[in-house]
Structure formats: C-alpha cells, structure tokens
Structure 1
C-alpha cells in the first residue's frame, strides 16, 4: 500500500540514492506548481466574493460582532488557526507606511473577538454523547451567538453535517455566515444558509486546505485594512 501511494520511498534495487532524490525533487516541484496554479485560479474565480466577504466581516467587527469558527479534523485545526489569527494582537510594520498600511511603526493593534468552537473537548464530547455529533456546533452557536456575530464553517467536502447544521443555526440567528468548502461545495452550497460561500475548485483535500488557508489570511488582511481606514 505504501509503495502504491509513495513509490519513491521504495528501496532502490541498485542502492543508488540519486534516482530517489530526483523523484522526490520532481514530486515537490509538481506539487508547488499545483498550489500556485490553484491559488491563481481562486483569485480569478473568487476574488470579488472574498472582497465582499471581507467587507461584511469588517462591518460586523466594527459593530461589536464576534467571530465563531468550526470544522472537523484538519478543518478543526484550521478553524482554531483562523480564530487565533483574528484574536491575536498584532504589532505594526517596522518600516511604516511604505508597506501600504497607515499605522505607525511598532504600533500594536488589539485582537478581534474570535473563538473556535472546536477547542473545548469536554463540551464537544458532552454534546456528542448527550445529543449527537451533528449538533456540536449548532448548540454552541444557539447559546453564544447573536445577530451581530459571524459564523465561519470550514469543510473540504462541504458535506460535513455538523458544519452545515452550525451554519443553518447561525443563519436562523441572523449572523453573517461564511462557508469555506471544496469539491463543488456539497451540502454547504445547497443548504441556503451561507451568505458568503467560498468554494475551492479542486478535488484534492491537500490543495483545498492550502488554498483555504490562503483565503483566510487574505480575509484577515482585508478586515484589518478596512478597520484601519475607518479608525
């Protein structure tokens, strides 16, 4: 099985490492090219949607809203990373306005209110045991969310039921809803609960997650710039 997935890891019959190193290098270059090509495609296809989403998030934050992120597996760690990205304070650019930002060098920006709904293991297991895994995000949003807030659901397939249920509950509450998906969007694209749907045009889980990470950083920068301009 390993040989089929990673043929370049199989022992070389001749004992010569050069073919192995050449194959690994070629594979790395091919993957890097795939990543760059996909990010360019995302910029072309989703650029206006990302801009609109960033503007909506900035408006919600400016009005006192909070960001709630959630997902499963690798998307769970991505959700935590996004929450930390928005929440963590940021120091200003060392070289000042030349970087395109208006803050003075060394200025420190406060973090934005953001939290991941995947971080509390006790709460997740309690909800899973008592109600069902499909409700772990919806129940938290029902308790914590308000119409002023933002819900961001992340799924590589778009078919994670608990993520979709979370977005539906957020929509019911009147929150700004953001969905990051791949593979056509799945149920996330069909549920009618997502205000800003960003579907990565790829069937590869790896490429989808890489592109989603880029989109989240672009959203963060867009929100920060918008808030700086209105400060």
Structure 2
C-alpha cells in the first residue's frame, strides 16, 4: 500500500477534497484550539494566582525542611506526573534540583499492588509507606474522579503531607476532598476538553514550579 492509497487527497491524480481547502481548514482548526487554550490559561492564572502563590510558599517550606515530592496520576496524567518529577529533579542551569518521585514510573510496585490488593490502592500504599510530614503529594486527574488518585490523597493527608491536586471540568470528587480539607490546594481547569485541561495543567504546574524556585532562591 502506497502513501497515495492511504491519503488520496494528497495526490493530484485522485479525487478528494481540494488540498488548499483542506490546509485552510486545518489552519482554522489550529487557530481555534490555540485561542481556546490561551483563554483557559488566562482564566486559570487570573482566578487562581493567589492560591498558586500560597501553594508555592507551602511547598517551598516543605522542601526547605528536607521534604520530597511524590507525583501520581493515570494515563496522560501519569505522563504529566513523570514530567513534574523530572522538572524538579533536573530543572536546568540556574535552578535548584529538588527531590521528587513519580509513583507511576515504578512499574514493579504499581503492578504488584494492582495484582495483589487492587488498582485503587496503587498510589495510596506507597504514600502511606514512604510519605512523611515534610513531604508533598501532587496528584493529577482530568476528571477529578480517579479512584486511585482520591485514595492517594487520603493516604497522604493521613500522613500529614501537603496535598496538591490538579483537576478539570468542575473538579469532580477532588473538589469535595478539597472542601473536606483532604486536598490542601486544588487547581481546577474549567473545561470539558481533556486536551485543553491537560494543556492548562501543564502551564499551571510549570508556573507553580517556578514560584517554588523563587521562594527557595536566596535573597
């Protein structure tokens, strides 16, 4: 099978939509998506800037006392959890490296717990075993309702950890946990698009990281 068979509209000798029209549609769609995420990012930062500053100060205080960051999430949020941890451990020249662990990256522990005790406990068990009062638990869920993320926050809260959540839509069950004091700082991306939620979460946790670095930088 050739490329023309897969994408006949790219071949001048085949019938299909006009290439110029197709490219114009792609450009329009891209511009619309860029506009959507720009508006969402601006809304999140405008609405949650004070909470971000407060969270950064609390997070920096934990790191200053020797605390560690534990990150967790499922699917794309697991990838984001790994990115957050990597950002702290290897921040680049001019920034302070900070101890961080992405729980989804420990495949042996995650699959052992999923197999032996249930997938809903794959984050709660490591946090209960290794988390301390000076540590930070950062969990991500686009829906705000991932059962294992919610259980992880409960375990972290019981250990006295600082708990930081990232959710989408209206916050889901994570919003209830925040109201109950289980999650200390919750950042909600008010969108029904998983793609826009994850893009806005990426911006927000980078802003949080930079604020933490500012708090820890000697004056």
Residues 53-92 of structure 1 mapped to structure 2, 5 A cutoff: 53-92=55-94
Cα RMSD between the aligned structures?
A: 1.6
Match of 1:134 among 99, 110, 120: 120
* Residues 143 and 38 of structure 1: CA distance in aligned 2, closer, same or farther (over 3 Å): same
Uncovered stretches (5+) of structure 1, i.e. residues with no partner? 1-8, 93-108
Give the TM-score taking structure 1 as reference length.
Answer: 0.86
Deviating above 2 A after TM superposition, structure 1's stretches of 4 or more consecutive aligned residues are 9-16
Deviations 1:29-73 (A, max 9, x none): 000011111111111111111111111111111111100000000
2:174 pairs with 1:159: no
TM-score (norm 2): 0.90
Aligned mates of 1:128, 1:226 — CA distance in 2: 38
1:111 aligns with 97
User: In the alignment, is the contact (CA less than 8 A) between 2:69 and 2:137 conserved in 1?
Assistant: yes
The corresponding residue for 1:213 is 202
Superposition pairs for residues 1-231 of structure 1, below 5 Å? Answer: 11=9, 13=15, 16-92=18-94, 109-191=95-177, 192=180, 193-229=182-218
Number of equivalences: 206
The Cα shift of 1:121 comes to 1.0
Post-superposition shift, 1:10?
9.2
Distance, in Å, in 1 between the alignment partners of 2:84 and 2:202 is: 8
- State the distance in 2 between where 1:10 and 1:29 align: 25
The separation in 1 between residues aligned to 2:137 and 2:90, in whole angstroms, is: 18
CA distance in 2, matches of 1:166, 1:81: 19
Q: Tell me, which stretches of 5 or more residues in structure 2 are unaligned?
A: 1-6
How far did 1:132 drift? 0.2
